[in-house]
Amino acid sequence: MIRVTVWNEFYHEKTEESVRAVYPEGIHTVIAEFLGRQEDITVRTATLDQPECGLPPEVLAQTDVLIWWGHARHWEVPEEVARRVQEAVLCGMGFIALHSAHHSKPFRYLMGTTCNLSWREDGDMERVWVVAPDHPIAQGIDRYFDLPHEETYAEAFDIPEPDKLVFIGWYEGGEVFRSGCCWRRGRGKIFYFQPGHETFPIYRDSRVQRVITNAVRWAEPETRVPEVPCPNVQKPVLKFDEQ
């Protein structure tokens, strides 16, 4: 059983009618629902307005994969919580950053770069291309899939070269973007997935749901450690004589 926690800023849905119309109960609820229908996945949710952002140490300790959606309130996530998430990833927890979470604290701290990009809100069509058809996250996806309307993100995206680039987005207005990127950091696996602007029902799309479900399975930890060790070791014994 893969234990997923879906974290959502849960702000736009309460303050903007155009977003509430799409996600009346919050983006996290929609994501939790489609993941919860999988037999091998169990889901909980957490939001910014909960104590400790809903992410006290005991929750992270019971989370195999953390999904993160945030946009307008990145700076309200306390440093302590952001660092706690980063450390959990380095100790093995999977981390999936969605859309505007490119600027979230945990993602930026894990990448080490600004994660800046160019952006444009014209509701362009996006065509998401598979560039790594062998990758587990791309299974079940055809050569590409279309999203009728999405916010446009454009290169240059200031990220470390991905360990594996899985998707590239094409936009009607002339842009491209590395829309699906994988990294390993410490013991943890990280996936960034660009689709998901709050005013369009992106997370209700079956292909998007398939990608996120694949990513959860891919990001499940191989191993989990309480902390990354940094020991002062003894000189190992070399058994030359006994050989």
DSSP 102: G
AA identity, residue 121? E
Three-state secondary-structure class, residue 238: coil
Nearer to a copy of itself, 44 or 103 (CB): 103
Rounded distance between C-alpha atoms, residue 129 and residue 99, angstroms: 16
Among 38, 56, 170, 201, binds a copy of itself (CB under 8 A): 170
Q: Which residues of 170-184 are buried (b: 16+ CB within 10 A; e: fewer)?
A: bbeeebebbbbbbbe
Q: Name which of 34, 31, 85 is nearest 63 in CA terms.
A: 85
* Distance from chain centroid for Cα 196: 11
Please, what is the minimum distance in Å from the beta carbon of residue 226 to a copy of itself? Answer: 13
Please list every residue from 181 through 240 that binds a copy of itself, using CB under 8 A. Answer: 183-189, 222-223, 228-236, 238-240
Please list every residue from 19 through 58 that binds a copy of itself, using CB under 8 A. Answer: none
Among 131, 199, 207, 210, binds a copy of itself (CB under 8 A): 131
Among 129, 201, 205, 207, binds a copy of itself (CB under 8 A): 129
Strand 94-98 relative to strand 65-69, pairing: parallel
Among 3, 164, 207, 217, binds a copy of itself (CB under 8 A): 164
Please, what is the minimum distance in Å from the beta carbon of residue 134 to a copy of itself? Answer: 4
Please list every residue from 135 through 154 that binds a copy of itself, using CB under 8 A. Answer: 135-136, 139, 143-144, 146, 148-149, 154
78 binds a copy of itself (CB under 8 A): no
Site size for a copy of itself, by CB under 8 A?
76
Rounded distance between C-alpha atoms, residue 199 and residue 101, angstroms: 15
DSSP 206: H
Please, what is the minimum distance in Å from the beta carbon of residue 198 to a copy of itself? Answer: 16
Instruction: Indicate left, alpha or beta for 34 from its phi (over 0: left) and psi (-120 to 50: alpha).
Output: alpha
Please, what is the minimum distance in Å from the beta carbon of residue 32 to a copy of itself? Answer: 26
Please, what is the minimum distance in Å from the beta carbon of residue 146 to a copy of itself? Answer: 7
**CB-based contact 192:107 (threshold 8 Å):** yes
Binding segment for a copy of itself among 7-15, 36-44, 45-53, 103-111 (CB under 8 A)?
A: 103-111
175 binds a copy of itself (CB under 8 A): yes
Strand 65-69 relative to strand 2-8, pairing: parallel
Nearer to a copy of itself, 31 or 91 (CB): 91
Q: Name which of 215, 161, 155 is nearest 35 in CA terms.
A: 215
Nearer to a copy of itself, 29 or 221 (CB): 221
Please list every residue from 106 through 125 that binds a copy of itself, using CB under 8 A. Answer: 109-114, 116-122, 125
DSSP 99: G
